[in-house]
Structure 1
Amino acid sequence: MELKQAMEAATADLDVRPGFVGDVMAGARRRQTRKLVAVTAAVALLAGVVTGVVLTRSSTLPPDSGDHRLTAAPAGDLAGDADFVSRALATWNNGPEQSWRQAGQVKDLSAEANVFWAGTTPEGPAALVAQAVRLDGQSESRTVVGLVSGGNVVDREIDFGRESGLFQLGKERSTHIVQTLGSRVFWSVNPVRGGDGRLTRAWQEATGPGGVAVVSAKQSDRPVFVRGDTAPAPDDFTREPLTAREDKRPDNAFYPHPGLGWKGRLLAADLPEGAPLTPPARALSPDQELREKAFLDYAVGWNDIGAWMAHAWLPDGRHAEVIESLGELYGLIHRPDGEFSAAVLGGPVSAVEPMLVPLPDGQGTFVIRYGTRIGPDERPDAWLAPAGTTEVTVWEGDTPKVVPLP
């Protein structure tokens, strides 16, 4: 009691600031909360460590796309040549300095590669190698398949769901190594144009051990490969052709325009009053429509179709277009409603002379030369010369040239 009385006497002149008791209680609660947080954090840290071990193990497993080629025994006439198979694998695995490993931002090459085909080709022994990889920013595994020949990785393709399965060897790219990929592959060379202007092709099946075929065909013979259950009909030019690396557009920021190097629409005549620039939009592009009608061959390479078009409304109310493909000029005529009317074979392209494309039914002649002024009105790039015109003046800079018309 004496201690209590002494304390009361000592604090008689002191006031407790407002909220002091509450602050004391709050402080106690904060201390209790910190204890709970510390315990919770410790538990979470322990769980994170355990979970981290599991995740780390999962993420470091080698890629596996499930592709049967990753484990298939080698096929082909050199499948039993253990020395060649071993050397092919060594070439494939010879280090990250190989440029193909940088393509597609491949980041995980920890899975073992497998030679699933080894065979003789006109260019010497060759092998197809498969390996599961992961790409930067992707968790799923992909299959990369490559061709090894002559001590080098000649080519490779990453399967993004639309694998071509076609590789080429030799300076002339005349040796074709094609995979059937569980289907059938047919190939053809040298299309034939009939008297009506339409094309046909004869097809044969490409077969080989392990679903790999070796075909010899010069590029000048226009080889085409398609994959499917049946061969295309002789006059069917609508199937999707297989493309090798050299057929694909360069993966560069800048690349030349195909063919003559021109680009854009060249209007060859003034628009009739009230007429639109072109007929109604069509489902098919001009080259697709010409192939559907069997007037134009398969476009295998990215540069098989030019990037320009000359066009004009005709005196009879139809609309005509001229395009460039495979070194030739092709015309396409439509009715005002956009329906196909006629095709025109315009002959070879020229990089040095004005090109002339006579139209049927007395509709005139296209005169085309990019960068020039053509005709009496000095129209730029292209002019539709009226029927009966026998010659036209083409100006290149300040130099005129008189060109006779057919």
Structure 2
Amino acid sequence: MKSKNKIILLNILILVFSTVLSSCIDKTELNEIALVIGIAIDKEEEDNSMLVTLELANPSTSKQSDEGSGGSNSSILQASKGKNLADALQNFTKVSTLSIDFSHIQVIVMSKELCIEGVSGVIDYVARDRQFRNLNWIFMSENNAMEILKTKIANEDITSLGLANMMNRIKKNGSILPIDLNRFIIGLQSQAKSSMAPVIRLEKTKDEPGGRIQIDKTAVFKKDRLVGILTPEESKYLAWFYRKIKGNLVVSPIVSASQDQNVIVQVFKEDTKIEPHIIDDEISFDIKCIATVEMKEITNVKLDSFVIDRIETNTKQILEAQLSQLINKCQTNLNADVIGFAEIIYNNHPERWVHMKENWQDIFPAMKYKVSFDVTVRKVGMVKNPPINEDEEENTQ
């Protein structure tokens, strides 16, 4: 009898263990998960709370489209308030039965009011949470951040995915600097303690009363607070200081109203080198840039060696003046070293940086520099001279 009872007990134990080991104790079904694609964070001045808006992938979209119902949104918005980001996200459990998943998030939009007050708490949370990725795109919104996620983008079903696609295109053509979470944090942790983020805004017109999303400016941060905004033109020139970003600009090196002459060229960045020079207590920088030019549009100008030399010289002068104005604004208006001069000193002269570090806020505004460009016309296009000469056209009439 005893041996029989042992066999029965053994079979029971095998059955129990096989059931436990083959099942998930802490499982979450797919239909219980809310996939977050984008997050917008606003500061509520009334009660000093934080309003967090999540753009979630709509789980019913595919099902409804299969049933042929149509007209369903591919994403839904949910909002929650709290004392801080952690509290606001925790409060989503009060308004949603789904488990929030941030592993597919694409964009983080912070309102201007939040950026003025300081973003250290928000950045610390998203950097610390393992579900957020360092490649999430960072934006500062001139408008209410929630309104950005409410605004639909042409040919895009999900706004946050549309914003991510816009940044990937901007990354290729170099119109402004795209900033992800990793680059934003690196800037704040750099020797200069300065960072930046693209500015996103709504432009309302008669044809688009709901607003159209524009990304063409750059927000400048010192430590964790917004200190100023670069114009679209200044934002384009900022790309020349970053090696991995392919900058390109459209300029007009020849404009003559009296003779109706006009030349429009596209300038491509080839290389930028920044060399520090420290003599006694004075510091200066040589900023040497190499650029190539491609002809885009010519009116009443015949291309010859003299004109090409003139185009190269004028383009060189325009680029040197614009980069100098950008540096001057960072020094005098913002006192924020987003270009990274401090990091260059630290890397090249670490022993000198030890003595400059504490006083960099006073040294940077008075820092001397020289910008020089080497410009070469590489392409004139399919034709050398304009197919239509307006002067000749007038003489034939």
| TM-score where L is the length of structure 1 | 0.26
Larger RCO: 1 or 2 (CA < 8 Å, sep 6+): 2
More helix by share: 2
Structure 2 length as normaliser, TM-score?
Answer: 0.26
